[in-house]
Amino acid sequence: MSEKTIDLRRLVVKAFHMTDVEWGEENDFDYDGHMTVSKAMIDSLVAKEPLIEKIDIQIIPPGEHDRYTETIMDIVPISVKVLGNLGDGVTHTVTGAYFILTGVDTVGKPTHEFGSSE
């Protein structure tokens, strides 16, 4: 009988809880729960991607979450793969702060209508 190798994957997720988010010089966070978001990176992202015309980032404090939007495309945790591949290794994830991706095309049609059955 031949021996069979079993691939045991292990994913380790390390969470960093944020208690405060504000505008800053760079995108960064510290271990005390303070996150900064750079306004300067917005222009850089728009310049690099021809399909993006405008990026608007709003930091919404707890309790002030009532906002109007044309569509919500996704609610995304802030995570980064530190080591390994999909399904294994180490991933760092921020808790207490998330981003909501919304969008409309250049004539104002909500993007959630693309590909709909209507």
For the chain, what is the mean pLDDT?
82
Q: What is the mean pLDDT of residues 8-21?
A: 89
Residue ranges per structural domain of the chain: 11-113
User: Pick the residue with more confidence: 117 or 27?
Assistant: 27
pTM, two decimal places: 0.67
pLDDT at 13 over 90: yes
Burial readout 4-18 (b: 16 or more C-beta within 10 A, e: otherwise): eeeeeeeeeeeebeb
User: Each residue of 56-103: pLDDT tens digit?
Assistant: 888 888 778 787 776 777 888 899 999 998 889 999 999 998 888 887
Which pLDDT band holds residue 110 (cuts at 50, 70, 90)? low
Looking at residue 89, what is its pLDDT?
92
Name the percent of the chain lying above pLDDT 90.
34
Q: Give the DSSP per-residue string, 69-88.
A: -S---EEEEEEEEEES-TTS
**For residue 104, how far is the Cα from the chain centroid?**
18
Picking from 99, 104, 93, the residue whose alpha carbon sits closest to that of residue 17 is: 93
Is residue 104 within 8 Å of 111, Cβ to Cβ? yes
